[in-house]
Structure 1
Amino acid sequence: MDSIIGSVGRVANVKVRNDDDLIDRLNHFYTTGILIIFTVVVSARQYVGDPIRCWCPAEFPGTHVDYTNNICWISNTYYIPLDEMVPPQHQLHLRREKELNYYQWVPVMLLIQALMFYIPCIIWRILNGQSGINVDRIVSLGSNAQFESPETRVRTIKYLVKHVDRCLSNQRDSRGTCCVQLRHILSTKLSILCGRRYGNFLVAIYFLMKALYIANAIGQLFLLNEFLGTDFNVYGFQVIDELVNGKEWTGSHRFPRVTLCDFQIRQVTNLQQYTVQCVLPINLFNEKIYIFLWFWLVFVCILSCYSLTNWMWHMVFPTTRIQYVRKFLKLMERLGTGPDRKLAARFVMDYLRHDGVFTLRLIGKNSSDIVVAEIVSELWDMYRSKKCIQIRTNSQNPGHETEEADV
């Protein structure tokens, strides 16, 4: 499956990036690839094979049979079970109520669904470029570092740390007014305000992207409900019920194989009305595709909800962010006791802030904890050295009041 979807991505000239996690790629990459594959399969069946075959009167020559097949394909056929009577001609409105008007548009709808799954990713990639942090570049370097030689790995980590430090410094608001400090507290401690200068812009738009994925998965269930004209949002439960109870699964009123078609042939003096019975082989594919899509949409929705909840738990609360960074400082034996523990909290809250910790977590999800530990230890050493320089500068100028910069 990965090779097939990868081929589709190469044909579409889509570059696989590292600025998200596996659940995000499940939405915008794998699901989009699956929908495109389904589109190709259905389109090939429609335009290469025979999507519909109609039982015509004996007096119809071959050209009339072809005409019947074509006219019944482009017009909407209708489904009436064999054990029910067909409404008479003067009650055509009853026939129209049974019409199937979706099967010609299945390829188009599948492409629209694929686009809808990719739109949140487009929004994320447009907006994260406005944060001042090149997430894709940073995470790609971290991901590649785990496969490099020790010498190259050290150089890559040092370059990566300098790049992260510049990005975090670029986000910082250098003004020291009371209003700025209050907004900083509201954004850091309570996660109320969000913005580039508050250090949580990336996290806010990332949460927005995940919320869009969830809304998209749920919305598509109801969109398909309108498109198919049936209770598609409960389709999967009915399929499970049929399988569990051992019901014979030979046909479906949603995707009937045998339908009826009304058409008229204009003769010199009158209109001749015909009603023929048609078979829709394409509905064999449509039925299996939409059964799979129902379960896939539910699966993707559940995983997306779990992913959003998990990210919010780890990013909204200050204690979870501090514990995450302290874990790596202890692993690299950089964290002592007393002053170091307090300084580590300031390192997380004032230096890394939400976006810094978020970037580290993305690196960890796309590489390994060892790479994250090395990056955290280098950032910690850089932070401590800057603090030491600041303390020495203040001690040499005791009469000069210096604003403490958030490095």
Structure 2
Amino acid sequence: MLDVLKPVTSLKLSTKPRGEGAVFKLHYRATFVFIMGCCILVTATQYIGDPIECLPDKDSIPQKVIDTYCYITSTYTLPKYYNMKVGVEVPHWGLGPEMAEDEKVYHNYYIWVPYMLFIQAISFYVPHWIWKAIQTDKVYTILMGLDNRSLDEAEKKDKENLLVKYLALHLHTHNVWAVKYIVCEILNFVNVLVQISITNAFLGGEFTNYGPKVASFLWQDPEDRTDPMYEVFPRVTKCKFWKYGPSGTVQKHDALCVLALNIINEKIYVILWFWLIILSVISALALLYRVLTMVSPSFRARILRQHGGTLRPSPLDPSARDAVDSLVHRCQYGDWYLLHSLGRSMNNLTFLDVLRALDRELNRSHSSDYDLNEKNLLKGKDVTSV
């Protein structure tokens, strides 16, 4: 089975720095790989068995014919037998003697599960693909290899100087770039909600409460409980097949069909329910965090100082804290997010050197501009006096 999943396990997703946060990566890495692996797993019939095997009431129908017919036309269960004891009142869950007026619940979505999973996996990768296409490798290009810990000291200093000059020269020009990333974050959150809604419609409205039902089922009395996974993914269903008899009359044939694939489908969608709910909550919190960073400069300064709890200047070295406070005061949101993205990819000490050097560079530029303005002002006064 590991050979079946080998295309997913060997999938090489780019680790190039692009300014993406951890929650963003959960969408296009963890979720994409998990759903794509499930898609491959449900098509591995050599390990699970045939998707459907039917037992007709007579031997006059070829096995392959009845199996194919019932698979493509969908099978059904009878709701009036859902709460009866299997092996005592009914032979299988939801199956029993049928009357013409009895309500039937048809189950044909198991045919489309692999396709549905494939489309969902692609949908979780799309926001990342959009971000990768529009961000022009800004973070990776600006880093110039400073995320490589094996650089010698001289080369590292040269790259740091180039980085500082770029940041100082292009100050206040990164807001559009940051807005693009925020839009992609919103797309991730919207996509999770859309996938929950689509999956619920795909499973006939059963997905919304699927996780809580399965969780409560585990705590019920084994003698009285009914597995909610049977309702969504029944393992034995019923099928009708009509054919002509020897005299030309239409004959009806009932068949019991075993859906071996549903034993995998039910587990996949239980895990998927919990994962999508957790991912939607985390994505919502990430958006709240983004709003907080946009409206609170002090929060941005705190994040930049601590940098995930690893960049904490000591009280004996207040220059780092002062440099960060000064930069946050001067930088717009796009500049701050670029610095934060660089800090996530660089060594903490290297990043701290860059912050100090950038603060000195901006101070020097500000001082030069001030002196130039003073000289122009004095020249203007001299001309006026003459």
Band the TM-score falls in, shorter-chain normalisation: 0.7 to 0.9
1:76 is the counterpart of 2:74: yes
Q: 1:44 to 1:397 in 2, by over 3 A?
A: same
Q: 1:122 to 1:166 in 2, by over 3 A?
A: farther
Q: Deviations over 1:311-365 (max 9, x none)?
A: 322233223234555777966958499xxx6x97664344x31111101212233
1:121 pairs, out of 97, 121, 128, with: 128
Q: Which residue of 1 aligns with 2:198?
A: 223
SS at match of 2:107: coil
Q: Which residue of 1 aligns with 2:242?
A: 264
Q: 1:135 to 1:397 in 2, by over 3 A?
A: same
| Richer in helix (by share) | 1
Separation of aligned partners in 2, 1:124 and 1:6: 27
SS at match of 2:251: strand
Q: How high is the TM-score relative to the length of structure 1? A: 0.76
1:138 is the counterpart of 2:142: yes
Separation of aligned partners in 2, 1:356 and 1:6: 41
Separation of aligned partners in 2, 1:391 and 1:5: 64
1:213 is the counterpart of 2:188: yes
Deviates more, 1:314-323 or 1:279-288: 314-323
Q: Which residue of 1 aligns with 2:341?
A: 362
Separation of aligned partners in 2, 1:69 and 1:257: 15
Instruction: Check whether the contact 1:200–1:353 (CA below 8 A) recurs between aligned residues.
Output: yes
Instruction: Check whether the contact 2:304–2:340 (CA below 8 A) recurs between aligned residues.
Output: no
Q: How high is the TM-score relative to the length of structure 2? A: 0.79
1:305 Cα deviation after fit: 1.9
Q: 1:106 to 1:239 in 2, by over 3 A?
A: same
Q: Which residue of 2 aligns with 1:155?
A: 158
- How many aligned residue pairs are there? 354
1:21 is the counterpart of 2:24: no
Q: 1:385 to 1:246 in 2, by over 3 A?
A: farther
Give runs of aligned pairs for residues 376-395 of structure 1, distance below 5 A: 376-395=355-374
SS at match of 1:223: helix
Q: 1:148 to 1:315 in 2, by over 3 A?
A: farther
Q: Deviations over 1:35-75 (max 9, x none)?
A: 111111111228984111111234236xx111111111111
Gaps (5+ residues) in structure 1? 172-198, 402-407
Gaps (5+ residues) in structure 2? 82-89, 381-386
Separation of aligned partners in 2, 1:344 and 1:149: 26
Q: 1:231 to 1:353 in 2, by over 3 A?
A: same
